[in-house]
Structure 1
Amino acid sequence: MRLTHLRHFTAVAERGSLRAAARQLGIAQPALTRSIQEMEHELGVSLFERLPRGVALTPMGQAFLRRAAAVQNELRLATDEIAQLRGNMTGQVTIELSSAVQMALLPRVIAPFRRKFPDVYLTLREGAFPTAEGPLLEGAIDFYVGPMPDIPQGGELVAEKLFDNTRLVYGRKGHPRAGARFLHELADAGWIRTQVSVDPSSELTNIFQQHGLAPPRVEMTGASTMAIILVVAHSDLLTMLPKQWMEFVATRELLQPIPIAELLPAPPICIVNRARLPLTPAAQFLADLFRRAAGYQMRDETRVAGL
């Protein structure tokens, strides 16, 4: 089986149509059809179910797609690595960052990375570990930086803690609960949660229950940083987010923290990458920049706390 076969198969799977995939690849549809048939003959299974309009992956095709994607990602990473080791600083790096990391660390990272690797194409994805795990394992993402996940020791992924973290409660400027000083004073407020896990409301619920309070009234879920900021800024909903959100100019201008006395812990911030395969030189340099930025972040917070 040739790599051309894998590219043809992936294109058809992504487009759901032989005709559309042929246009994307710039080849004739009969040639693409023969390529898929050769793969199916070699594997001894049907990869696609022919539909009245287009095609759909069979269960065997879905399983094969995961492997095909991983093979192509590894080839791309190997090609980028060799080129960069030879001094040709091109290629691409893809990373996934939590919102807190984007606000606190990314501004310190971008400029030095662009100076070192101006011709490397950088893709930044926003999300939490559940959305990053599969692409990490497949090699589609180089590394993840965000809240520490629960991953087994000695597995395919390794997590390195960068710094501990806490949360703040945020409301709009002039919020009627802005004078609250204890969590119980917010027990009957409405909340918007982040979409960071399978059951994001459990994080809010756990914090309230740890302080002997009933679960909060979660009225909305925000799937993006900007959505949460705008909803909180234009409603009486509250949100509980990592303290790094106050470093974002839009947050400072539109929201205010409510100084609750109780400690509101957040998962530590960490970096996660594959355990047994090295990063490309460009990705390794970027990961080291995040480690350095995390060190600056901790020193800044220590200095502010000591004032």
Structure 2
Amino acid sequence: MKLHHLRDLLAIAEKGSINSAAKHLGMAQPALSRSVRELEREIGVPLLERQPTGTMLTPMGILFARRATSAVNELRRARDEVQQLQGSVQGTVVACVSGVAHISLLSEALAPFYEAYPHVKLRIIEGVYPMVEARLKSGAVDFYIGAAPEGGPAPDLQLVKLFDNTRVVLCRVGHRLSKARSLAELVDAKWVTTSITDHAEAEFSSVFAKFGLPAPRLSIQAESALTWITAVASTDMLTMSPVQWLDSSLIKGAISQIKVQELIAAPAIVLIRRHAIPPTPAAEYLCDMMRRPASRYNLKK
């Protein structure tokens, strides 16, 4: 079994057809088909099956691909680590970073990171923990920095709290409710929210329930910061967002705070990565550069 066998199988699984995978890899379709057949002969079971919608992994193929993904990622990381320890500044770092971590941590980390590793390619995913848990476990994502997940991470992942956090209520500039001073005055408004679980309405309702209030109407569940910024800036919807957004140039002049009297807690901002396998020097350096500004928020407790 050779590395290109694993690469070829995973490309087909990702692209959904041999033809698309061949174009992605820059190789001839017959050569790709031959590579998969060689792998199937060695494994002893079919790994792919043709369906009307494309080429899919068989049940055994799914199991094999799961292990193959981890193996390919580890080989990529091993190559990067050896090269970086020898003085090379090549390689790739893949990180999932929440909106808050973007504006409060990543913005200060990029310049020093690229001074130390000018040729390392960064792939930054904006998101929250549930969407990348499987990729963290497989090694496809080096680390996550963002809101702490309910119940903590999977057993083979390590969590480090960077700082506790609070939320503020935001509205468009000139909103009729901008002078409100309590959540009770906002229960009839329409809201847009993000979520750190698959249960956005339950998360949202719990904030109001804590203060003995009924849950307002949740109109939009946003999967990115751009969605809630657009919705709040262009409509009468409100949102609850981490306090760090008040310092963001992305909302200045268009979105302002409704200064309610209630203190609204937010999930802590955490770092999550694999427990047993150390990151590459470049990934470790980016983590360090993002943890430095986090210390300022801890001093504000």
- Could you say which TM-score interval applies, normalised by the shorter chain? over 0.9
C-alpha separation in 1, matches of 2:197 and 2:68:
28
Q: For residues 1-307 of structure 1, what are the structure 2 equivalents within 5 Å?
A: 1-51=1-51, 54-150=54-150, 155-299=155-299, 301=300
Alignment identity in percent? 43
Map Cα deviations across residues 135-188 of structure 1 (whole Å, 9 max, x no partner): 111111111001112455892101101111000000111111111111111111
Deviation at 1:266, TM superposition (A): 0.3
Distance 1:153 1:133, change over 3 A: closer
- Segments of structure 2 that go 5 or more residues without pairing to the other structure are none
Report the residue type matching 2:78 in the other structure.
Answer: A
Deviation at 1:10, TM superposition (A): 1.2
Map Cα deviations across residues 36-73 of structure 1 (whole Å, 9 max, x no partner): 11222222222111235641222222222221111111
Deviation at 1:258, TM superposition (A): 0.5
SS in 1 for 2:252: helix
Alignment RMSD: 1.7
Distance 1:53 1:267, change over 3 A: closer
Contact 1:105–1:297 under 8 Å retained in 2: no
Q: Please say which of residues 31-40 and 212-221 is displaced more in the overlay.
A: 31-40
TM-score (norm 1): 0.93
SS in 2 for 1:140: coil
Map Cα deviations across residues 23-42 of structure 1 (whole Å, 9 max, x no partner): 33343333322221122222
C-alpha separation in 2, matches of 1:267 and 1:20:
41
Contact 1:194–1:221 under 8 Å retained in 2: yes
TM-score (norm 2): 0.95
Q: Please say which of residues 41-50 and 75-84 is displaced more in the overlay.
A: 41-50
C-alpha separation in 2, matches of 1:132 and 1:213:
33
SS in 2 for 1:119: coil
- Segments of structure 1 that go 5 or more residues without pairing to the other structure are 303-307
C-alpha separation in 1, matches of 2:100 and 2:154:
28
Distance 1:294 1:40, change over 3 A: same
SS in 2 for 1:215: coil
Contact 1:94–1:141 under 8 Å retained in 2: yes
C-alpha separation in 2, matches of 1:147 and 1:19:
40
Runs of 4+ in structure 1 off by over 4 angstroms are: 151-154
Aligned length: 301
Report the residue type matching 2:111 in the other structure.
Answer: A
Deviation at 1:251, TM superposition (A): 1.4
C-alpha separation in 1, matches of 2:152 and 2:181:
39
SS in 1 for 2:178: coil
Distance 1:204 1:10, change over 3 A: same
Contact 2:153–2:159 under 8 Å retained in 1: no
C-alpha separation in 2, matches of 1:41 and 1:236:
61
Q: Please say which of residues 151-160 and 275-284 is displaced more in the overlay.
A: 151-160
C-alpha separation in 2, matches of 1:63 and 1:131:
20
Distance 1:81 1:217, change over 3 A: same
Deviation at 1:117, TM superposition (A): 0.6
C-alpha separation in 1, matches of 2:52 and 2:153:
48
